[in-house]
Amino acid sequence: MKTNRLFYSLMVASGIALVASCSSDDSSSLPPIGGYNSADEVAATSLKAYWPLNGNGKESISNTSPNNTVATTFVEGVKGQAANFNTGFMAYPAITALNTTSGSASISCWAKVSNTKLVAGGPSNISPIFSLTRTGEVFGNLNLLGETHGLVTSDSIQMKGVFRIKNDDGSEFGGDAVNMLKQESWMDATHTWAANKIGGQWAHIVYIFDGPTGTNKLYVNGVKISNSAWEVRNGGNAKMLNHFLPTRPVIGALETVANGTNTDAWNAALKGQVDELRVYDKALTPAEIGALYELELAGR
């Protein structure tokens, strides 16, 4: 009897050890995606600001909290929690790391927005996701938003990245990257379009400004969606990103909405959700964009 009890005890102990060993192996044996184990590893040395949005609005690198929060709560997101805006926004004081630039930049985030124009010709407003503002100006140095121009169906969201940057002489140089939702009759073979049916669902969105090539581009769910004919904005010559200062980040609105001076009917705060917002001091490569999308989609 004593021998049987000893055998049983050894078997139980071995089973516990085996379960512990398997659990440990499971947590550490996930294969890399694009050569990375987590999204935090992608272009890590170029990451200048990161908002996880896990229950608060704190920017995690500088430990900066918003100084003005309007109609914002937190809900389940793609990775942990996400910020939910009911025609709301979070505005921040200046973050030192975002004042300087290498000449290029990328904004990466997840967003869930719905079309704001349900019928062609109907009223609409924008769905602003992020702006690196200019004092008193509607559009900041860098801006990422959704809109409904060129409506195809109620689940189509046209994405737009807008830049308004500083020339050496202090004047403004502006342009944008636009997602055309459909082929128009005037388009030749240099144009591209994507219906972008992401209304009401989470989508990974990236806007890049590449100074050395004078280009800006948009990606959704790892795929380039910006109109190729409009990506080059300086005749193919370098146009290095140079901010107007002071600049401050706003999630969910453009500057004039955030400061209370807006008079434009199309310009409104965001009705939608944002998660995992990152700003990089480089133009992310297609491989890096794809890795970010797959890693964050997997909760990594």
Q: What are phi and psi of 87, to 5 degrees?
A: 55, 55
Residue 26 has pLDDT above 70, yes or no: no
Q: Predicted confidence band at 6 (pLDDT cuts at 50, 70, 90)? A: very low
Q: Identify which has the larger pLDDT, 292 or 153.
A: 292
Average pLDDT, the chain: 90
Q: What is the pLDDT of residues 267-283, one digit of tens each?
A: 999 999 999 999 999 99
- pLDDT over 90 for what percent of the chain? 82
Range of weakest confidence among 9-23, 30-44, 122-136, 246-260: 9-23
The whole-number pLDDT of residue 3 equals: 41
- The first and second tokens of residue 243, run together, are 């901010």
- The first and second tokens of residue 198, run together, are 């992401």
CA 276 – CA 54 distance, rounded (Å): 9
Residue 150 has pLDDT above 60, yes or no: yes
Q: Is 137 left (phi over 0), alpha (psi -120 to 50) or beta?
A: beta
Residue 114 neighbours by CB distance under 10 Å? 17
Furthest CA-CA distance within the chain: 94
Residue 81 has pLDDT above 50, yes or no: yes
- pLDDT over 70 for what percent of the chain? 89
Name the DSSP class of 80. S
- Mean pLDDT confidence for 226-241: 95
- Mean pLDDT confidence for 182-195: 94
Q: Identify which has the larger pLDDT, 29 or 76.
A: 76
HEC states along 37-51? CCHHHCCHHHEEEEE
Cα 108 to Cα 37, 130, 277, 290, 298: the distances in Å are 18, 10, 6, 11, 16
Cα 211 to Cα 165, 235, 278: the distances in Å are 11, 12, 19
Helices and strands, number each (H, E), in the chain: 3, 13
Residue 153 has pLDDT above 80, yes or no: no
CA 108 – CA 110 distance, rounded (Å): 7
Cβ atoms of 161 and 176 within 8 Å: the answer is yes
Q: Predicted confidence band at 82 (pLDDT cuts at 50, 70, 90)? A: very high
Q: Predicted confidence band at 171 (pLDDT cuts at 50, 70, 90)? A: very high
The highest-confidence range among 3-12, 25-34, 118-127, 263-272, by mean pLDDT, is: 263-272
The whole-number pLDDT of residue 43 equals: 98
Q: Predicted confidence band at 16 (pLDDT cuts at 50, 70, 90)? A: very low
Q: What is the pLDDT of residues 194-217, one digit of tens each?
A: 999 999 999 999 999 999 999 999
Residue 20 has pLDDT above 70, yes or no: no
> Helix or strand or coil: residue 141?
coil
Cβ atoms of 282 and 46 within 8 Å: the answer is yes
> Helix or strand or coil: residue 158?
strand
Q: How many CA atoms lie within 13 A of 216 on its CB side?
A: 29
Residue 228 neighbours by CB distance under 10 Å? 15
Residue 180 has pLDDT above 90, yes or no: yes
Determine which helix (DSSP H) or strand (DSSP E) holds 291, and give its type and residue range: helix 286-297
Residue 4 has pLDDT above 70, yes or no: no
Q: What are phi and psi of 97, to 5 degrees?
A: -60, -25
The whole-number pLDDT of residue 10 equals: 39
